């Protein structure tokens, strides 16, 4: 597939630290991917999309947020109803400056995993994000304004994840980060072991040493977090959500979900989709 190269000089206005785009994604098949010399943060404001990223296809839903690095090659295709995308490009110098002043190693824009980091914003979080983005869009797009928008997001996501152990081997840190990608956690412990590039027994010993849990335990936590987001952020049937998690046996999926969240998937969806508000 053809890869297009986009450059900062083609999209940024002189003196601007950010470039802001709102778009309705086309449903036409993806014919080419692109990379660029800047960073991008995008999220789906409404609808669903296919994302071809570094040769892997994934499905994104409303509220999904992706931190794209310059080396990432990707393209998007709308699915079903209209898919509304918000995309903010940041000059590389701005992102490098943030990295020099704040320890974000291995996360978000600074992830070294094969696939870029993703996050999810629930309905109310998405509404807050939309208001912040509107202020940035309508204001002076300076470095200061860009940081005022970006730093609260980074701080919130960093605090919700928790730091990795300082002595964690680099190969295991990369594998744990990669385990948040759907193609990896779909395959369970085998997916984590595969991206770690070490023998299963060795990965298991290291996971017990640093996290006091098995590879299966670690991946299942990620699977159940993904399932919870899908239950509250989409109308997808349980069977489809379970299959996305790599758990086509619905009885097994129900037992795992209840063990992690204290509710059945159906009860969780009823409780947390109640009285939601749409972003403005």
Domain shared by 52 and 182, yes or no:
no
Domain shared by 7 and 89, yes or no:
yes
* Element containing residue 197 per DSSP (H, E): none
Backbone angles phi, psi at 256, to 5 degrees: -65, -45
Domain shared by 174 and 156, yes or no:
no
- CB 226 within 8 Å of CB 185: yes
3-state secondary structure 199-244: CHHHHHHHHHHHHCCCHHHHHHHHHHHHHHHHHHHCCCCHHHHHHH
Beta bridge mates, 59: 50
- Nearest CA to 193 out of 175, 210, 211, 209 is that of 175
Last-in-domain residue among 161, 193, 215: 161
The Cα–Cα gap between 179 and 195 comes to 8
Domain shared by 10 and 106, yes or no:
yes
Determine the structural domain holding residue 192 and report its residue range: 170-272
Does 216 or 272 have the greater pLDDT score? 216
In this prediction, residue 142 has a pLDDT band, given cuts at 50, 70 and 90, of: very high
Q: Which two tokens stand for residue 187?
A: 């395959």
Residue-level pLDDT at 39: 96
Residues composing the chain: 280
Last-in-domain residue among 140, 161, 182: 161
In the chain, what percentage of residues exceed pLDDT 90? 45
Residue-level pLDDT at 250: 95
Domain shared by 8 and 141, yes or no:
yes
Residue-level pLDDT at 3: 86
The Cα–Cα gap between 40 and 19 comes to 9
Does pLDDT of 277 surpass 70?
no
- Dump pLDDT digits (tens) for 3-61: 888 999 889 999 899 999 999 999 999 989 999 999 999 999 989 999 999 988 888 88
Beta bridge mates, 32: 2
Q: Are strands 74-90 and 64-68 parallel, antiparallel or unpaired?
A: unpaired
- Dump pLDDT digits (tens) for 73-101: 999 999 988 899 999 999 999 999 988 88
For the domain that residue 217 is a member of, what is the CATH number?
1.10.10.60
Does residue 280 sit within a domain?
A: no
In this prediction, residue 279 has a pLDDT band, given cuts at 50, 70 and 90, of: very low
Does pLDDT of 136 surpass 70?
yes
Domain shared by 121 and 177, yes or no:
no
For the domain that residue 15 is a member of, what is the CATH number?
2.60.120.280
Residue-level pLDDT at 278: 38
Largest CA distance in the chain: 57
Domain shared by 181 and 123, yes or no:
no
Domain shared by 10 and 87, yes or no:
yes
SS3 59: strand
Q: Which two tokens stand for residue 22?
A: 């709102």
The pTM for the full model equals 0.60
The Cα–Cα gap between 198 and 229 comes to 31
Domain shared by 153 and 176, yes or no:
no
Four-point Cα dihedral 264, 268, 271, 275, nearest 10? -150
Does residue 249 sit within a domain?
A: yes
Last-in-domain residue among 161, 192, 217: 161
Domain shared by 154 and 177, yes or no:
no
The Cα–Cα gap between 276 and 215 comes to 35
**Number of structural domains, the chain?**
2
Other Cβ atoms less than 10 A from the Cβ of 227: the count is: 23
Query: What mean pLDDT, rounded, does the chain reach?
Result: 86
In this prediction, residue 166 has a pLDDT band, given cuts at 50, 70 and 90, of: low
């Amino acid at each position: 597939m053809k890869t297009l190269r986009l450059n900062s000089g083609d999209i940024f206005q002189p003196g601007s630290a950010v470039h802001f785009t709102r778009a309705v994604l086309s449903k036409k098949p993806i014919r080419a991917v692109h990379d660029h010399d800047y960073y991008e943060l995008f999220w789906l404001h409404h609808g669903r999309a296919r994302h071809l990223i570094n040769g892997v296809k994934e499905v994104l839903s409303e509220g999904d947020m992706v931190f794209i690095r310059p080396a990432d090659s990707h393209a998007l295709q709308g699915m079903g109803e209209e898919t509304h995308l918000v995309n903010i490009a940041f000059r590389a110098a701005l992102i490098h400056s943030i990295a020099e002043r704040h320890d974000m190693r291995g996360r978000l824009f600074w992830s070294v995993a094969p696939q870029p980091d993703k996050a999810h914003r629930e309905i109310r979080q998405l509404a807050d994000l939309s208001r912040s983005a509107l202020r940035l869009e309508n204001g002076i797009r300076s470095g200061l304004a860009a940081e005022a928008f970006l730093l609260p997001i980074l701080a919130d996501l960093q605090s919700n994840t928790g730091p990795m152990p300082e002595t964690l081997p680099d190969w295991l840190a990369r594998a744990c980060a990669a385990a948040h990608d759907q193609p990896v956690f779909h395959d369970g412990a085998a997916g984590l072991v595969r991206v770690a590039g070490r023998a299963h027994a060795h990965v298991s010993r290291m996971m017990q040493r640093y996290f006091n849990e098995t590879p299966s335990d670690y991946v299942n936590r990620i699977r159940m977090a993904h399932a919870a987001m899908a239950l509250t952020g989409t109308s997808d049937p349980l069977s489809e959500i379970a299959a996305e998690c790599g758990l086509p046996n619905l009885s097994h999926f129900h037992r795992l979900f209840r063990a992690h969240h204290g509710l059945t998937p159906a009860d969780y969806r009823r409780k947390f989709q109640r009285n939601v508000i749409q972003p403005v």
